Amino acid sequence: MTFEEMERTMRFILEQQAQISGNVQRHDENLLVIETKLQGLEEVGLKLADSHVLLVNSHKELAEGFKRLQQAQTESQERLDAFIVFVEKYISSRNGGQQAGQ
């Protein structure tokens, strides 16, 4: 191998090493960007999970409140029905046993 061939081979090797070094640096930079974005996604994921827990708890509270409201409505309807029966009997007894409106 001549000196010129050795010189070209060395130049080629040095150029390849420089290119590889540049590629590695770009990959490292890209990896840093990806890691930064991944951390942001992790934070968003945690916030989303926290929000989901709050939503589930709120839904449970809402369902319990709705159940209490249904019970109260049922009790109110029963009391209203009883009151209507009482008033009808009262009016009926005042009219000599006749139904109101007769």
| Average pLDDT over every residue of 43-67 | 97
| Average pLDDT over every residue of 60-83 | 98
Dist CA 57 CA 51 (whole Å): 10
Confidence label for 1 from pLDDT (cuts 50, 70 and 90): confident
**Considering only CA atoms, which of 102, 73, 68, 76 is closest in space to residue 88?**
102
Dist CA 33 CA 39 (whole Å): 10
The pLDDT assigned to 36 comes to 95
Taking all residues of the chain, what is their mean pLDDT, rounded to a whole number? 93
